[in-house]
Structure 1
Amino acid sequence: MPGRLSWFLFLLIGSLLWNPSNSSASLKTLKPTAPEASPIAVETSNGVYEVEGGRRLDWWSAHNFCDQRFAQLALEPQDEAVTELLQGQVQGPIWVGQRTALLQRAQQRRTHMLPGLVFEVQTATKYARLLVDFPVLAAITVCTHIQWDLATDKVGTIFSYAAPAFTNELQLRGFAAHDGLVHLALVVHGHHSPYLPVFSADGRWHHVCAAWEEQSGQWAFVADGKLQAGSQSLSTAQSLAPGGMFVIGQDQDSLGGGFKKEDAFRGNITNLYVWARMMSLEQLDMARMCEIPKDGLLFGWNRWGLEIEPTLQEVVLPFMCPVPIEECPTWDGGSGTLGSEQCLQLLPFFCHYGTEVYWRLKEVQKTADGEFIIRVNTLANATVLSRNGFQEDPGSLSVLEATSFLGILEQALAAEETPLQPADLLAVLSFLKRVVAVEVRGQDPSGQQEHLSQNFLAVAGLLLEEQTEAQWLEIKEIIRSPMVLVESVNCIAASLSLLLTAKRSNISIQKGPIGIETRSLNLRNSTSSNLLEIPGGPEYIQVPFEEVRRLQGRGLSKVTVINTWFAYSALQHSLGWEGQEGGKVLSQDVSISDERQKYLSTQVGSAIISSTVLVRLQEVSTAVHYHLLYRTQGFSDKLVEPVCAFWNFSSSPEAGGSWSREGCSLIAQYQESVSCFCNHSTSFAILLQVYDVQRSSQEESVLKTLSFIGCGVSFCALITTFILFLAVGLPQSERTTVHKNLILALAAAEALLMFSEWAKAKKVLCMVLTAFLHLFFMAAFTWMLVEGLLLWSKVVAVNRSEDRRMKFYYMIGWGLPVVIVGVTLATSFDGYVGDHHCWLNLRKGVIWAFAGPVLFVLTVNTLILFRVVIVTVSSARQRSRMLSPQHSLERQIGVQIWATVKPVLVLLPVLGLTWLGSMLAHLSMAWAYVSIILNSFQGLYIFLVYAVYNSEVRLAIQRMKEKKKALLFTPRPSSLGVFLRAGPSRRGICDLQNCSQPINHSSSPRNTASWETKKGNSPGPTSSTSAPAPATAPPQRNIVHQGNLGASIPVGISSIMSSEKSMEKRRPRDKEGHKRRPAVELTAFKSSGF
């Protein structure tokens, strides 16, 4: 019997150390095993891979192993050399890193020393009774850890509750069936549920819960966090009677007695809890994870709450709380495929270094004299710091060892007897990573864990002092950022959460410029504060009340809030190189220069504060609100813009993370502080973007005023032009249609732009306004592109169908902007609008959804204008020679210069080439004024060129006036005879025949003729007062100008659209009989000059 008992206790203790959540896990320890061979390194184009073929660790330990050597757990191999090396060194699956982001940090598993009850054999004497005065129970839940003895297949009673009036009030019975499962049944008021399979009969520990409520008779069995069986209508007649006895291991046939051997339990029981309510699955899983819900708790497992029969074996067991089953990525060298295994399996792995990191690490360690390392190891009489991180494995640490070594390290750093070298700093950082991995116990009566945390903060503070700035710069290629210390301090703070109890709900430690706080937050207590105020100032961080309500809505009653802070003085020196000019600090490109300011650098300008919310030791992302001071010393003559940002540890793992502003926004800005809101919890700070001011606030105000005036004038001019085009009855043509669409788009954009300044205060309105601004400005530029394409078609491809072209033009002019705006909104909805204006976001690159197409349009139109100018000059040269061969060279040169300048002046507004000046606006204020005038007054320019000084518009207006005058002339009937007798005047004949036509040359704005007519003797000008023609002759009609400005200007910068068909008929032919190309026509209508 003693030998059997010893074996049974060995099985009992060994199985308790096994993780119940991981049924396939080996009973081997998870500590690193001794390496069978030295690591093998291979260099490839992707970096250096170090294969740890003889070392097998779980995924978390493998990740920590590589991290302590300033490497990363490698991803699946892509290089053939690495694949061949792994296949030769390792058989089966190996751990690889996570590609998207690092897995959440492993939960700290806690070891509790618990009393256990050993029911070695079935007897009628062994039992344990709960010393609890039970009330009336309308619902009950009982949970316990059970290890079923497989030596018997008889039914055993796990527990029973008997009341004075009725003994079979509540029982949980079960047996190990031949199917390899333990079947359980619940008895309530004598009503027996069926036996159902609940957990495996494998001799291991299982967390089992039985629950029942009176209202519906609902009952359930939950094993290892999963619902296994349940139903309803089990004894709904009455509640469980009060004043009864709860006995473990026996069936009560009388109150507190009447035990029978055949009904006794055989196995082991520990960790039993009773609640006076029916628990949810989430709450039962909390109990399994050693997070015991307090609401309705009647009994919590402890030795003093039990009456134990003297012969019942008692043991104290080291019980390790389980962790969730997680799958971690693996790579199989044999098949070359990715897979996954449970993270706690022991597998080989390999680490990955960047090439520069690996050789820089080698160089730093080779050049170190090791004096500081030797001194620390001598003081500790142990290997605290490793001189060669590639080869040495110092192993794991206990809490006591880590606390002692940290104290020695603090003493050595504070003494400054030995100067700290870059290799020494790397060794200290590697040691701190080992300390973070120290396993934390659930109880800390001696306060060692708090002492460890204090020493850790002291060492971290010493490493961030000003005299170590040079060392940080030396190792920046390896460490990338001292934010690794912030991450380590966060982990230390999280370990303190295991020490929180009902009596001690807050632990706060501050050492120099670094502080940590761990707080248990009762969500049901409205007065419970989650505000952390940083000592020495108005800075704080808190979880908003709305987030607390959201957590309550998930059924949570208690969470743990972990806060850390690093004063600005702690990181201003070591983070100095983060903000060097030209360095990229933020993961998003938020440092964009414009014409008002030139970007110089980004600096960390505040304390760094962190907040994390834990639920059952698992991190829960919550929104936070924080308020921080920022320092602008040294930037008195610069523009400093504060940015709310956080450190994203999972971004760029090879670089240790990076600053980001994703999900963070600035709520309020004060003179020396800002308030920020972020929709997630991590480490936060205020970054200062430093700009060199290019223009003063007064100059900026003048530019804004000038722009507003210009937009207003242009809007009125465009509307007037549009109305004129409709009112005067211009002939329909491609160019008039294109002009109208361009004017409509540009007018709408100008109107929205004037309104945008008032809309920026309203977020939704600003968003809508920005989308329409984007649409109409984009449409304005696409119609400018159409203007250029139409001009090209008139110069190069004159025989294409107008109908086909117009459909294509509408697709470009309106269809393309709709597509661009729609795609931009779909892909960048959250970052579509800028921070301070109702316009596209410069910081996130959304502005390129406008700037890119605009640059394309301006480039195409510039090439078109260049080609048109060449053709125009060539045509001017030929006509000049034909018309005036006797003219001097100077006259011909003048004609050609005018032929070059005039098309440029006429076409600039419709081709949008005035916007090219915006590219030079940042060079000086003069260029800024030129850019504002050219762009904001673009509508006025179009009005002057294409309405006021356009001959066809003026002619149409003149005709309207003449027609109106003619309609007003209506002779009275009484005077008609006199009128006829006297004979009609010239004016009367015109009105009676065709009052809509001009009667003489003076009715036209200009009396011009074609250059063919002027070859001969040109008659003198005809006066409007000349003698009337004979009555028998038809009235003389006006000669309409067809594409020329007269002999003095041989090149027509005008007018093809009004009479395109008639011109086609009249076009002269060359010697071969082909029609000659028409004169180059550049505007929509006939321009009579400026």
Structure 2
Amino acid sequence: MGRNRESVKCQLYCVLLVLGLDTCWASFDAIETHINGSESSVTFIETPHGVYEYVSDRLDQWHAETYCDHKFASLLSEAKDIQKSKMYLLQPNLVQFPIWLKKEDSTTVWNKPVTALFYKNQSDSKYAKLLVNFQIIPEVTVCAYIQWENTNEVFETIFSYAVPTFFNEFQLRAVSKDGSVLFAIVVHGQHTQYSPMFSNDHQWHHFCITWQKSNGTWSFYADGNQKATSTMISASKDIMRGGIFIVGQDQDSYGGAFKMKESFSGNITHLNIWRRVLNNDEVEQARACRIPEKQIIFGWKKHKLEIAPTLQEFTIPEVCPGYSKRCRVLQAGDKEIDYTPCMNKLPVVCFYPQDLYQRLKYIHKDNQSGIFLKKVNTIMNQTLFSENFLISGTHQINVSVAIASLQSIEQVIETEQNVVQPADLLGVIRFLMEVSDVDVQNNNEDVEELSDHFVQVVGALLDQTDGNLWSKVNPIIKGPMTLVRIVEKMVAKLVHCLSSDKKDISLHHRNIEVGVKQIDHNSNNLLYTVQSSERVDQIEVPKDELLKMKGQKKVSVVNTWFDFEKFQHMFGSFNSNFPSKDSAVSDGGYKYMGTSLGSSIISSTVLVGQQEICTSVKYRLWHKSTLQNSSEKIVQRPLCAFWNFTHNSENGGSWSTSGCFLRKRLPETTTCYCNHTTNFAVLLQVYEVQRSSQEEWTLRTMTFIGCGVSLSALLVTFVLFLAVGVPNSERTTVHKNLIFALASAEALLMFSELAKTNEVVCITVTASLHLFFMAAFAWMLVEGLLLWSKVVAVNLSEDRRMRFYYITGWGLPIIIVSVTLATSFNKYVADTHCWLNVQTDIIWAFVGPVLFILTVNTFVLFRVIMVTISSARRRSKMLTPNCSMEKQIGIQVWATAKPILVLLPVLGLTWLCGVLVHLSIVWAYVFIVLNAFQGLYIFLVYAIYNSENCSHQANYLSTPKNTLWDIGKKSSTPPSSNLSEPLPIKNTVGKGNIVTKHPVNITSIFSSDKTAVELTAFKTSARVSITDCVLSLPSSKMATSASYSSKGYLP
């Protein structure tokens, strides 16, 4: 055998060598083994990038994926690796294709339409008659898909078969009781007992009933599983011929006399009848809509039905699992990926990444003694755990075996606490995964006992506090949250145990709490409080969520709780994918150190029948107020989070904060709200304090004083613009809007702390702050655009420009704030103060536009500086040709510095210092001085040193008629401008200061050739003496200089 294999291997090697694939073959090896107690074989194919396990047993897609999960492997999934995987799998000629691929988003759903009958409410007029000529029936099978609607405990007739001589020849009756639907058949008038079939969850369920006259044997099947069987009902007597088969009514006469109280209410489709008993495989085929044709009497066809006019028909997507879904498979031919019905049975290939497989081999090699698992096998008196879990198959166990096995594991853990090794831990966890998939329907007492032992075993595993032990196991099981997931999967089966007599079930362990409860729609809320904890942890479903489910039957909730102390050390040895530093815009006050689990893990899952319903929840968890061995410079901030199994699924998931919001924070408890149900916890983000409390107090005080001074200055400036009668123009209109927006924002900012106690008022204040600060920056952008329009020719009329300015200044902020509120209302406001939530991406609704505005204004300022320098260079050469080079350089430097000093605050560019505050406390002080006092600067520039305002103020004050009631009215005499005509200059050269007698506006030195250009949008009243260069000018040149002094606007 070995020689033949080597020969084949050599031949394949030669072929691959010709094809250039010899490097791949060098690392290939296949090891074949047989699973104990099974005819199937397992082959491990080792390759450089991973190991493939090929199992000859054929399984459907769900069972194939479950098998690989239980082996800590997975089906092939990555598209980039499929070609490589296929090459390795073809080499040993052991794998039979096609094989299953992992079911992902690519699963295709067939929307094949099918006709269904809709029996809305009970009625004596709705029926469907089968157009079939029935012969003698010695044995029969009837299958159909049914959707049960009625919740009253009265029997209904799903179908009835009547013959002229006997009306109750063959019937199927059903009743809803305690959340389940029970079936009974009537044959020749004899009635069987009612047997539970499926949950009354308003979902589609497949059923089959069989009967044969030999011994009167009958059986019930639901969703492919046999639910009940018995004998001796109307034995040795055929069902008579010539009858009428009616769907939805009980015939009290031949083909009629229907009664409303005995009629069916619900939906039905895919009704098929055979003149024989189907075996288990054929029942499964019927469920998958692969209808066996042998001896079929009636197949579901609309033209073979006589449907009453009052009975509604409707078309639905195909409900059969075999036809409704097709799953991906890997083919051996050229067409690599294909699709086939998910119910088909194919061989299985599980894939182990190389590092995972090596970890498994190391753990197996390191556990040669196997004391723990051997003792469990001894107690069970059977080989429950194989010595080599790599080659062992999965267990096909029932409820009783599972209970006994869990009891044995409990016993060994209690008596042998110090002998648990990584291999033992993996073996137990794998067994728990298998138990969680056991079908436990209709075994209510056993389910509760099984779940209790399950919780006890998991709780005992959590007592294994050896960090080294979990550090070896966690990478294989994909982290400690795997234990949480399998516990939730197991205890969800307890819903079947709930009834009108037993509305809640509780399971307790010192490390785990489980509560399953039937929901009462009349309760105010659904509160679950942990009982075994010294600290009170709780989670609740709000009343408004319960009202949404009113009218639904069999609504239940499953709650779980896992102790913080036990899970903390497990996460400490695992890369748990904690959220990184917040997306907050840091002010430099704190340095992010890391994140850790700070509380217990609590969950809530709401179920309608077996279907999970997403609801919002509110939970409160205890956490430590301070960290151990922490100094005063270490602080922690709680973070509401949940475990997202779908994100980073290759590592088992990660923590996420999406949809969770902090509602209340106390030193030792945190209350959170989340808009979905899953596993929740409070994470603690640790920060190192970078500023002392004294520095923080100083910064807050400076901010408050600065905002107060700026607000007062802005109000005075705004009043002056209105009172002194400054003529309306583009620049004054822009000034007024900027002043109004900035003053409103600073006023709200100063008093925003008073609003944080009222949620509605706080949201309103936050939205107003957002709006007015955005408007202030938008009008700073308009200031830049206005400046640009004076520097660069813009072919727009003044009216069109002003419309554009108003849209930019107020329209864009309103749109930004409205869209942000509409899309992110629940996470709009910060937790502790009335401002945008900087812990989410909401802050970018402010920061993003501001950065854009500052970028545009920076470019505008650069352009202004270039124009100013060019103008200053020309004028200095023309007016002061005899000046030294040092003097000319000084003039140019001043020409560069002055517009920067003047325009930086007006254009908002001082806010760029905000990106530097995290570097040093000095930058924080600089930022506050520049921006908190921005209003004062505008007052000084626009009101005090503005020549136009000053001239209007002088005229205003010198006019006798300007009494208190005349304020704001324009003077009938327009003010004279001292810049409208050239200044007279004597053509003499005298001693002394010529400028004192004949002041020259220094802005003339910096004016551009276009006299209409107003670079800073205001005119200064300052008269600064000309330097010695100007004093040495000849009189003729002085006259020329004076002629350039008109229309100068840059101070």
Q: If the TM-score is normalised by the length of the shorter chain, which range does it land in?
A: 0.5 to 0.7
Within the candidate set 169, 172, 194, 1:157 is matched to: 169
The residue type equivalent to 1:433 in the other structure is: M
Alignment partner of 1:489 is 2:448: no
Cα distance, 1:842 vs structure 2: 1.7
Residue 153 to residue 79, structure 1, CA distance change in 2 (3 Å): farther
Shift of 1:914: 1.3
CA distance in 1, matches of 2:397, 2:909: 71
Match of 1:442 in 2: 442
* Structure 2 equivalent of residue 661 of structure 1: 657
The share of aligned pairs that are identical, in percent, is 39
Is the contact between residue 505 and residue 515 of structure 2 (CA under 8 Å) also seen in structure 1? yes
Matched, 1:38 2:30: no
Q: Provide the residue aligned with 2:433 in structure 1.
A: 433
| 2:103 is equivalent to residue 97 of structure 1 | yes
1:139-160 Cα offsets, whole Å, 9 max, x none, are 994247889899x999643479
Are positions 1:66 and 2:68 aligned together? yes
SS for the counterpart of 1:933 is helix
Counterpart code for 1:602:
T
Distance 1:201 1:568 in 2: 46
Q: Secondary structure at the match of 1:943?
A: helix
Instruction: Answer yes or no: is the 8 Å Cα contact 2:42–2:391 preserved in 1.
Output: no
Gaps of at least 5 residues in structure 1 are: 1-31, 104-120, 124-138, 162-171, 177-198, 207-222, 226-247, 251-258, 289-318, 969-993, 1027-1037, 1061-1077
CA distance in 2, matches of 1:837, 1:347: 60
- Give 1:776's aligned amino acid: F
Q: CA deviation at 1:574?
A: 0.7
Aligned residue-pair number: 832
Partner of 2:591: 598
The Cα shift of 1:500 comes to 4.5
Matching residue of 2:256? none
Equivalent residue, structure 1, for 2:300: none
Counterpart check, 1:142 vs 2:155: yes
- Distance between the aligned counterparts of 1:1053 and 1:419, measured in 2? 89
Q: Is the 8 A contact 1:530 1:543 kept in 2?
A: yes
Aligned to 2:217: none
Q: What residue is the counterpart of 2:1004 in the other structure?
A: 1044
Q: Distance in 2 between matches of 1:476 and 1:623?
A: 31
The reply to whether residue 938 of structure 1 matches residue 934 of structure 2 is yes
The answer to whether the aligner puts 1:550 opposite 2:547 as a matched pair is: yes
- CA shift, 1:460, in A, is 2.3
- What is the distance in 2 between the residues matched to 1:776 and 1:679? 31
Contact 2:529-2:538 at 8 Å conserved across structures: yes
Letter in 2 for 1:830: N
Q: Give the drift of 1:907.
A: 0.9
Letter in 1 for 2:605: T
Residue pairs, 1:592-991, within 5 angstroms: 593-632=586-625, 633-634=627-628, 635=630, 637=632, 638-695=634-691, 699-730=695-726, 734-795=730-791, 797-798=792-793, 801=796, 803=798, 809-869=805-865, 872-873=868-869, 875-876=871-872, 879-880=875-876, 883-884=879-880, 891-892=887-888, 894-964=890-960
Q: How big is the shift at 1:484? A: 0.9
Q: What letter matches 1:573 in structure 2? A: H
Match of 1:510 in 2: 508
Q: How does 1:225-624 map to 2 (within 5 A)?
A: 327-328=324-325, 330-331=327-328, 341=341, 346-347=345-346, 369=368, 371=370, 375=374, 379=378, 382-385=382-385, 391-414=391-414, 420-440=420-440, 442-443=442-443, 449-450=447-448, 452-465=450-463, 467-500=465-498, 504-521=502-519, 523=521, 531-541=528-538, 543-544=540-541, 546=543, 549-550=546-547, 553-556=550-553, 558-577=554-573, 584-586=577-579, 589=582, 593-624=586-617
Q: Which runs of 5+ in 2 are unaligned?
A: 1-36, 110-134, 138-151, 174-183, 189-204, 213-220, 224-231, 251-258, 272-282, 289-318, 965-971, 1021-1040
Aligned position for 2:34: none
Give the whole-Å Cα distance in 1 for the aligned partners of 2:106 and 2:700: 46
CA contact (8 A) 1:156 1:173 kept: no
Aligned partner letter, 1:630: H
Partner residue in 1 for 2:22: none
Superposition TM-score, scaled by structure 1 size: 0.63
Higher mean C-alpha deviation, range 562-571 or range 402-411: 402-411
Shift of 1:533: 3.4
Q: 1:959 to 1:282 in 2, by over 3 A?
A: farther
Q: What amino acid is aligned across from residue 494 of structure 1 in structure 2?
A: A
One-letter identity of the residue aligned with 1:550: L
Letter in 2 for 1:61: H
Distance 1:867 1:55, change over 3 A: farther
Q: Aligned AA for 1:533?
A: V
| Structure 2 Cα separation of the partners of residues 266 and 835 of structure 1 | 70
Identify if the C-alpha distance between structure 1 residues 92 and 629 changes in structure 2 by more than 3 Å, giving closer, same or farther.
Answer: same
Which SS does the other structure have where 1:574 is aligned? helix
Name the SS for the 2:487 alignment partner.
helix
For 1:754 and 1:422, locate their aligned partners in 2 and report how far apart those are by CA, in whole Å. 60
Give the secondary-structure state (helix, strand or coil) at the position aligned to 2:842. coil
Deviations 1:553-606 (A, max 9, x none): 2243x544333222222212112256x8xx741499577754333322222222
Matching residue's letter, 2:169: T
Q: CA distance change for structure 1 residues 838 and 51 in 2, over 3 Å: closer, same or farther?
A: farther
Quick one: which amino acid aligns to residue 64 of structure 2?
Answer: A
- Contact in 2 for aligned 1:155/1:262 (Cα 8 Å): no
Q: CA RMSD in A?
A: 5.7
Give secondary structure in 2 for the equivalent of 1:598. strand
Conserved 8 A contact 1:966-1:995 = no
Structure 2 vs 1, CA of residues 912 and 1016 (structure 1 numbering), >3 Å: closer, same or farther?
farther
**Partner Cα distance (2:843, 2:367) in 1:** 50
TM-aligned CA deviation for residue 418 of structure 1: 6.6
1:36-57 per-residue CA deviation (whole Å, 9 max, x = no partner) reads: 663668888xxx6958574433
- Counterparts in 2 of 1:527 and 1:703: CA distance versus 1, 3 Å: closer
Greater gyration radius: 1
* 1:840 alignment partner, SS class: coil
Rounded to whole Å, the distance in 2 between the matches of 1:933 and 1:102 is: 63
Deviation of the 1:944 alpha carbon: 0.7
| Deviation for aligned residue 1:710 | 2.6
Instruction: Tell me how far apart the structure 2 counterparts of residues 924 and 201 of structure 1 sit (CA, whole Å).
Output: 74
Judging changes above 3 Å, is the alpha-carbon distance between structure 1 residues 202 and 361 closer, same or farther for their aligned structure 2 residues?
Answer: closer
Report if the CA contact (8 A) 2:444-2:496 is conserved: no
Given that residues 639 and 692 in structure 1 are in contact (C-alpha distance below 8 angstroms), is that contact kept between their aligned partners in structure 2? yes
Shift of 1:434: 1.6
Residues 51/746 of structure 1: CA separation in 2 closer, same or farther (3 Å cut): farther
Quote the offset at 1:812 in angstroms: 4.1
Task: Give deviations 1:847-892, integer Å, cap 9, x for gaps.
Answer: 1122122223323433443454455456545544554555566655
Mean alpha-carbon deviation: is it higher for 860-869 or for 348-357?
348-357
Paired with 1:391 and 1:462, the residues of 2 have a C-alpha distance of: 27
1:601/1:690 contact within 8 Å kept: yes
Say which SS state the counterpart of residue 585 (structure 1) adopts: coil
Cα deviation digits, residues 667-690 of structure 1 (max 9, x gap): 443342233444443322222222
Aligned residue in 2 for 1:986? none
1:371/1:814 CA distance change after superposition, 3 Å: same
